[in-house]
Structure 1
C-alpha cells in the first residue's frame, strides 16, 4: 500500500499494489466516504483503510471484468452495503448500477465521472476525479492506459468472453485514446490498474502513476500515427495469454465467493494421506529439494514472485490439483495466491510434504552442457519474444504455457535439457517433461543459464 499525491486538499488517493500480479487498485476518500476502484481478491486492506480514517465504503467501481485476477467487488458490496458500478456493456449478473458516459457519483465534496474507453475490452471505462472547483484532477484508466503503454486488445477473442476480434478492439482503443484520454488537461494524474510485468500490456514503465502530459510525450502508443499504424504496432509482440484469463473474466462478471470463506473450504488432508491417482500435484518447494525427492508425476512450480501467473498458465481453469509445501505457513501462502486467480476451488487438497518421496531428478553437469551442448535435446521454454535471441543453436522452442500440451514434440533419442531465462521456469518445465516422458533423462539448467546468456552476449 503506497500513498499517492492527493489531487486536492479535500480528497485522498491511496494505491494498493500487488507485485505478484502487477495490479494496482485504489481507495479514494473524500470526507468520510470512500470509493474503491478495481479491488483485489482480498478485501481486508480496503476495510482497514476505511477504518483508519473513520470512513465508510460507499462505492466499488470496476473499470472492466478483469482477466488476470479475481476482484472482491461483490464481497465488499455485500459486507459494507456499498453500491457496485460498472458499464452496462459488462452485462454483469451481480447487483450493480450502470456507470457510463455522463454518469457521475458524488463522493464527499468531489465527483467521479464515468468515461467509456473501450479497446482493451469492449466494456472498459475510465473514471475521472473532478474536484470541488470542477477541475479534472485525476483519471483512473483501468487497463486502457498504462504508464508507457496501453492495454492489449486480444483477450476477448474466445467465444466464451464475447468473440471480439483484436483488430476491432484495437481500433476502438485508438479512438478512446485520441478522442477521450488525450484530450484531458496535461496535469491530470493517470492511475492505471497495472504496472511493470503485467500480461495485460507489453512495455509498461516501472512508474506506477503518471500524468496525461507525460504520457503524451513518452508513451509510444500516444504518438502521432494513423489508425492502421496504431493497430499494427499495438498487435505485434504481445505477451502470451495464460490459460486462466477467460475464466476470470466470466468469474468477475458474476462475482466471486468471499475470499476467506473460500480459502477455509480448501481440503487439508493429514500428512501422508495418499493422493488420488491421475490428479496433478503442484510441488511448491525449492528446486533442489524437489530434485532430491518428490512424488512421481509432480510439477515443481516453486513459490515465488509470479507463482499465481505461472500456476494459471500451466494448469487449466477446470483442472483439479494438489498443492504441496513444507509448512502450514507456506501452504497458506500458495493457497492465497491460487485464490487471487480464482483457483482455490480447484485444489483437491493442500498437503504437507510427505515422508516418502520416491522420485528423484538428476543433477545437471553444467560444464558438459557448455562443452558439448550437442549431446542434449535442448528445450527452450522462454516466451517467443524472449527467444528471438537464441542461447543454443538448434534448441526446440516450446514456451512453458504450451509445454504440457506439446510434450510429444520433444525427441527422446538423447537426454533432454530444459532452460528458461533465469532458472525459475525451467524447474517447472523439466518436471513436466520428466513426468510425461518416463525413462528419458531430463536435466534442468536452472540459474546456470545466466552464465550462458552472458557468454552469448559477448559473441
Structure 2
C-alpha cells in the first residue's frame, strides 16, 4: 500500500493517489485540473488508474475527474446527493471499494456541503487513514456557507453548520486515534479560516488541538464556526456547477486560447489581466488593465475580480508567463473566457509613484482605501479614516470611493494593493489620481 499526496500550492489543495502495490491499481481522490501528474505517477509504478473519488463538488478549483475517467476508463465514485451529470457510481454511507488488501469505506459527512463524504481506508482490516475532503482540516473544519446558491442541494449556512457538528463529533471523532487525517486543503485556502500548514495529522492529535473537535454544545460550535468566515470569491458557485458537469480536457482547452506576440485589436470594455511585476506595470501599461501578478493567490483574485463567464484578456512579459497564466486560469475553469493572450512590455499609461513621506505627514489630504479582508481590518486598522473594502468586493463598490482627493490604496504587503489600485485606475474617471502604497505599508 502506498499513499501519495499531491499539492497545488497556489490553491492550497491536496489530492491523493492510493496505490495497491500487489494489484498495480490506483484510486485518486480529488484530483486537480491538470491530470498529468497522476498519469506520471501511474506510469512510474506501472499501475492503472481504476477509480476517482470526489469528496464533493469543489468550489475553489476544477477537478479533472471526468477527463481522467474518459482517458483511462476509471470509475468515478461520488455521493448520489451530488446530482452529478457525468457517468458515476454512487459512493455513500457504508459502501465499499476493494483495492488489493485495502477497503475504502464511504462516510457521509455533510456540513461543508450537503453532499460531502469522507473516505476511511482500512488495510487488512485495520483503520489506517481517512481522507476528509473539506470536512475536517488540520486545525479547523470546512466552512458551511458555500452552498446557499449552488449545487443540486442548497441549504442555509445554519443548517450546514449544524450538520457539520454531527459529522465531526459523531463520525470522524469516533475513528481510532492513530488514523491518519489527509485533508483536501491546507493553510491559505478560503474553504476554512484557521488551517494549519501541516499536510497531515491524526484523529488523536486533532481531538487534542483542533477547536472543532473539542467538547461543546451544538450551539457553541455553530456560533464559532459561522463567525469571521472569509469572503466568498465570485467564481465559487461557478466551479461547483462545473464540477457537477465535468470540465473539458485540460490540455486541449488551454491550447484553444488565441495567442499573439503583439498586442491584438482590443475591445475597449474588456479587462486586461496584466501579470507582469508591479514595477514594470507601473512604468507602462495598457488602458483598462489590472495588475494581477503571478503570486500564490493569482487564481483566487482572478476569480474574485473577473465574474464567471465574463470575457477578459491575459497579458504577460513572455510566452512562458502567458502559458502559466492560462494554465492557472484553467485551474478554476476560466480559460474559456480568455478572449486573447498576448505579450506586452509597456503601454501608453504610467502609474504615478506616491511620495510616502508627504503622505505620512499629511494623510488627511488623501482618500485611503484599505483592501485587506474584513478579519484583518478587525484585528488592526492601519489608518483611522480609511475606507475598508476587501479586494474581492472592490469592483462592485467603486462608487463608494470619492475621487475628489488623491486616492492611496493599501493592503498588508503590496500584492493586493497593486491589483486594487490598477483596478480603480481602470474604472474611475480619467482625472482621478490613484496611488499604490505598496510594501511601504509595512512601515506604518
Instruction: Provide TM-score, normalisation by structure 1.
Output: 0.95
Distance across 2 between alignment mates of 1:74 and 1:229: 40
Does the alignment pair 1:434 with 2:428?
A: no
Q: Deviations over 1:361-386 (max 9, x none)?
A: 10011111211111100000000000
Offset of residue 161 of structure 1: 6.0
SS of structure 2 residue aligned to 1:405: helix
Aligned residue in 2 for 1:359: 349
Tell me the distance in 2 between the aligned counterparts of 1:396 and 1:161.
38
CA distance in 2 between partners of 1:44 and 1:250 (Å)? 23
The answer for unaligned runs of 5 or more in structure 1 is 1-10, 453-459
* Structure-2 residue corresponding to 1:44: 36
Which of 88, 98, 107 is the equivalent residue of 1:96? 88
**Given the alignment of the two structures, is residue 130 of structure 1 paired with residue 122 of structure 2, yes or no?**
yes
2: CA distance between counterparts of 1:211 and 1:403? 40
State the SS of the aligned residue for 1:169. helix
Partner of 2:364: 374
Correspondence for 2:139 among 142, 148, 151: 148
Q: Which of 259, 262, 277 is the matching residue for 1:271? A: 262
Q: Structure 2 residue aligned with 1:116, among 99, 108, 112?
A: 108
2:282 maps to: 291
CA 1:294–1:339: 2 relative to 1, 3 Å = same
Aligned-residue CA RMSD (Å)? 1.0
1:218-297 aligned within 5 A: 218-297=209-288
For 1:297 and 1:33, locate their aligned partners in 2 and report how far apart those are by CA, in whole Å. 51
Note the alpha carbon deviations across 1:39-70, whole angstroms, 9 max, x for none.
00000111111111111101100000000000
Report the Cα offset of residue 273 of structure 1. Answer: 1.9
Match of 2:50 among 58, 63, 67: 58
Distance 2:263 2:230 in 1: 40
Shift of 1:276: 1.6
- Tell whether 2:174 aligns with 1:174: no
Tell whether the 8 Å contact from 2:55 to 2:78 is kept in structure 1 after alignment: yes
Deviation at 1:272, TM superposition (A): 2.9
Cα distance in 1 for partners of 2:393, 2:190 equals 16
| Residue of structure 2 in register with 1:384 after alignment | 374
SS in 1 for 2:396: coil
Contact between 2:51 and 2:77, CA under 8 Å: does it hold in 1? yes
CA contact (8 A) 1:272 1:354 kept: no
Question: Per-residue displacement from partner, 1:54-91 (whole Å, max 9, x unpaired)?
Answer: 11101100000000000000011111110000000001
Relative distance call for 1:314 and 1:148 in structure 2 (3 A) is: same
SS at match of 1:239: coil
User: Counterparts of 1:303 and 1:29 in 2: how far apart (Å)?
Assistant: 34
Residue 305 of structure 1: which of 293, 296, 299 is its match?
Answer: 296
- Which stretches in structure 2 are left out of the alignment for 5+ residues? none
Q: Equivalent residue of 1:146, what SS? A: coil
SS of corresponding position for 1:449: helix
**2:395 maps to 1:407:** no
Runs of 4+ in 1 over 6 A off after TM superposition: none
**Quick one: structure 1 residues 45 and 159, their matched pair in 2 at CA, closer, same or farther if it must change by over 3 Å?**
closer
Question: 1:265 Cα shift?
Answer: 0.5
Find the counterpart in structure 2 of residue 6 from structure 1.
none
Cα distance in 1, alignment partners of residues 42 and 279 from structure 2: 44
3-state SS, counterpart of residue 128 of structure 1: strand
Quote the Cα distance in structure 1 between the aligned partners of 2:406 and 2:356: 14
Aligned residues: 440
Report the 3-state secondary structure (helix = DSSP H, G, I; strand = E; otherwise coil) of the residue aligned with 1:138.
strand
Change (3 A) 1:82 1:159: closer
CA distance in 1, matches of 2:77, 2:151: 23
- Tell me the distance in 2 between the aligned counterparts of 1:161 and 1:289: 45
2:201 is aligned to 210
* Counterpart Cα distance in 2 of 1:158 and 1:200: 16
Check the 8 A contact 2:81/2:152 in 1, yes or no: no
For 2:134 and 2:151, locate their aligned partners in 1 and report how far apart those are by CA, in whole Å.
Answer: 20
After TM superposition, the score normalised by the length of structure 2 is 0.98
Partners of 2:117 and 2:150 in 1: how far apart?
Answer: 22
Local SS of the residue matching 1:46: helix
| Aligned position for 1:418 | 409
Question: Corresponding residue for 1:8?
Answer: none
Aligned equivalents of 2:265, 2:278: Cα separation in 1: 23
Contact 1:161 1:249 in 2 (8 A): no
Establish whether residue 184 from structure 1 lines up as the match of residue 171 from structure 2.
Answer: no
